[in-house]
Amino acid sequence: MGGDAGPAAILAGAAIARRRHPKVRFLLHGDEGVLKPLLTRHRALLKCAEIRHAPGVVHMSEKPSQALRRGRNSSMWNAIESVAKREADVAVSSGNTGALMAMSMFRLGVIEGIQRPAIAVIWPTMRGQSIVLDVGANAGCDASQLVDFAIMGEAFARAIFGIDRPTVGLLNIGEEEVKGIEPVKRAAHILRASKLPIEFCGFVEGDDIGAGAVDVVVADGFTGNVALKTAEGTAKLVTHYLRSALKRSFFGRLGAILARGALRTVRKKLDPRSLNGGVFLGLNGVVVKSHGSADALGFASAIDLAIDMASSDMMSRISSDRAGIIDVAEDPEATSNGAGKAQAAVS
């Protein structure tokens, strides 16, 4: 157990989450010698938490393959193991993303019909929040994987936003049918032909993400990761411009003091900690990767998210939707039948 803020922040986060969800019980995986004294500071948490000693730690610099080989006695492995054994419903970690994904895939397995899991993030928009996936689990993706992501992202949006029919868009470089790369165009074709119970809205462009044009934005892991990091870089750039412009004059400095509440609000909205890092979709189990730099409040939000996911029908929905799509992709003639079956199964 760790993250940049250390186990103290994680336990404080669990204590906050416990207040919000009084019925939840916690298995705390990590070094007992460290966790025990920390836990005594949180009396209420003490009653519904159990420490599971793990001597090992997965380091942030470790490669996924190394972690898989060497990390079997780590707190990360044990947390995933407890989900695999159904001791826990969800695992939340602020550790090494690649290692967490590798261990999750190895121990939990991928939902039947889904080729590869994806990492989804919650993206702040002008209209609230959207889901963007994949943001880095899969560098290159074919059309069928993009369709998987659309199904998983839609199920995730329903689970955590509580929307009946979230809108889904494929990230492209133009809204016209002729533009873009082949896998994206082909995925659009499959999603249209499938008649799945998904509100597919066609293509969206990079600026549509921040505008909140759709609830779910689907991209391959390369493009999604570039988009996410470019957005983070741009948000930093704008606040950097703002800070240096405000410092430059007396009125700027005075204005900044008066407007500091407003500026704090903006900073908070852009704070990656409030966005909970990445959520792994497509696994036979719920794994949430909290941001490495998350403080107690950030980690509590990650736990909230994991609980929302666990208490939804997300995984069965992904499974049944994917079953419908396979019919479509493999036998174009059977499109309407295949899709009809899947729709009936979920509605």
| Cβ nearer to its own copies, comparing 61 with 347 | 61
Q: How far is the CB of 244 from its own copies (least distance, A)?
A: 9
Phi (first) and psi of residue 74, to 5 degrees: -90, 160
Sole binder of its own copies in the list 122, 155, 227, 306 (CB under 8 A): 227
Q: What angle do CA 95, 97, 102 make, to 5 degrees?
A: 110
Residue 182 binds to its own copies (criterion: CB under 8 A)? yes
- Bridge partners (DSSP) listed for residue 131: 122, 216
Query: What are the structure tokens assigned to 340, written together?
Result: 């009809």
Q: How many CB atoms lie within 10 A of CB 341?
A: 14
Binding mask of the shown chain, residues 104 to 123, with x at each position contacting its own copies by CB under 8 A: --------------------
Binding mask of the shown chain, residues 270 to 289, with x at each position contacting its own copies by CB under 8 A: x-------------------
Residue 69 binds to its own copies (criterion: CB under 8 A)? no
DSSP state of 214: S
| Cβ nearer to its own copies, comparing 40 with 265 | 265
| Cβ nearer to its own copies, comparing 108 with 217 | 217
Binders in 135-154 for its own copies, by CB under 8 A: 136, 139-140
- Cβ-contact 139, 160 below 8 angstroms: no
| Cβ nearer to its own copies, comparing 39 with 119 | 119
- Cβ-contact 195, 340 below 8 angstroms: yes
Q: What is the largest CA-CA distance in the chain?
A: 71
Stretch that binds its own copies, among 66-74, 87-95, 221-229, 329-337 (CB under 8 A): 221-229
Residue 223 binds to its own copies (criterion: CB under 8 A)? yes
Question: Measured between alpha carbons, how far is 251 from 185 in angstroms, rounded to an integer?
Answer: 52
Sole binder of its own copies in the list 40, 230, 311, 316 (CB under 8 A): 230
Question: Measured between alpha carbons, how far is 347 from 343 in angstroms, rounded to an integer?
Answer: 6
Sole binder of its own copies in the list 35, 151, 170, 171 (CB under 8 A): 171
Q: How far is the CB of 213 from its own copies (least distance, A)?
A: 9
Nearest to 144 by CA among 241, 282, 46: 282
Residue 208 binds to its own copies (criterion: CB under 8 A)? yes
For the chain, how many helices (H) and strands (E)? 15, 10
> How many residues bind its own copies, per CB under 8 A?
61
Helix (H) or strand (E) holding 152: helix 143-161
Q: How far is the CB of 67 from its own copies (least distance, A)?
A: 15
Stretch that binds its own copies, among 88-96, 194-202, 209-217, 315-323 (CB under 8 A): 209-217
Give the residue carrying structure tokens 């029919």.
Answer: 165
- Cβ-contact 102, 64 below 8 angstroms: yes
Question: Measured between alpha carbons, how far is 192 from 218 in angstroms, rounded to an integer?
Answer: 15
- Cβ-contact 246, 263 below 8 angstroms: no
Sole binder of its own copies in the list 261, 330, 333, 347 (CB under 8 A): 261
Residues in contact with its own copies by CB under 8 A are 124-126, 136, 139-140, 171, 173, 179-182, 205-211, 219, 221-223, 225-242, 245-246, 248-249, 251-252, 254-263, 265-266, 269-270
